[in-house]
Amino acid sequence: MPDAPFPAGPGLFVTGTDTGVGKTVVTAAVARALRQQGRAVVVCKPVATGARPVGSRWLAEDTAVLADAAGWAGDWERITPWAFPDEVAPPLAARRRGVALSVSEIAAAVRQRAQPGAALLVEGVGGLLCPLTERATVADLVAELALPLVVVTRRALGTLNHTLLTLEAARARGLKLAGVVVSETVPVQGLAAETNVDELRRLGVPLLAVLPYRPDAAAVDDPSLSAVDWWRLCNA
């Protein structure tokens, strides 16, 4: 029998309903909020694609944002041990560089970065069912790490469907849900965007915060996120 998953320590796994929904913005904001409370924080985005060359290394923009939020400027491999240049799903990006990814190896790398008493914030790639290896998805990594899940969804037409599908997939796999953050990736326009937060609440979705649109969102924290008790959720 395979070993049962065990938690990587207090922490959260941040996933999204899609790519480009604001996972990195939220993860970075949570890291800064915890550090401002005097909490130790470890950030990790174990696999990233669409990276650019910097010297002899590959750097994804998400990794740079997380490094800044954690105070680890330049320590990119500590955050992202697998970075690939092609902006495609991880197994294809890895295959094109002659690399074979495995969930057990990725999970082990994440656990190695964990520190006693520190909040471990792990950001996934793409959405919950995005392929991560040739046979596994991001959801399999979440299950292996046994971390509570924060789902980031964009505020737009289609939000209800995308959010409910992601939550249903998480429940089907027995993943622990910490809650949902709605991210306004563009200015709110149209009836669907104006009403879907209320509709999510009506449908019983556990909303943690609504992150208002800001062009400089990666550099600005918002009270809606700072007001959340992230440390409690990390230890739930």
Structural domains in the chain (count):
1
Q: What is the CATH number of the domain that holds 48?
A: 3.40.50.300
pLDDT category at 7 given cuts 50, 70, 90 is low
Domain assignment present for 4: no
Looking at residue 80, its amino acid is T
Domain assignment present for 3: no
pTM equals: 0.94
32, 45, 154, 162: the active-site residue? 45
Asked whether the CA dihedral 211, 18, 47, 93 is positive or negative, the reply is negative
Q: What is the DSSP string of 142-208?
A: HHHHTPPEEEEEESSTTHHHHHHHHHHHHHHTTPPEEEEEEE-SS---SHHHHHHHHHHHHTT--EE
| Domain limits for position 106 | 11-234
Interatomic CA distance for residues 115 and 176, integer angstroms: 22
Domain assignment present for 217: yes
Domain assignment present for 5: no
Domain assignment present for 127: yes
Domain assignment present for 165: yes
Q: Mean pLDDT across the chain, nearest whole number?
A: 92
Domain assignment present for 2: no
Instruction: Look up 45 and say whether it is catalytic.
Output: yes
Asked if residue 29 has pLDDT above 80, the reply is yes
What are the backbone dihedrals phi and psi of residue 67, each rounded to the nearest 5 degrees, phi first?
-60, -45
Express each pLDDT in 162-196 by its tens digit: 999 999 999 999 999 999 999 998 999 999 999 99
Express each pLDDT in 130-159 by its tens digit: 999 999 999 999 999 999 999 999 999 999
Interatomic CA distance for residues 201 and 84, integer angstroms: 38
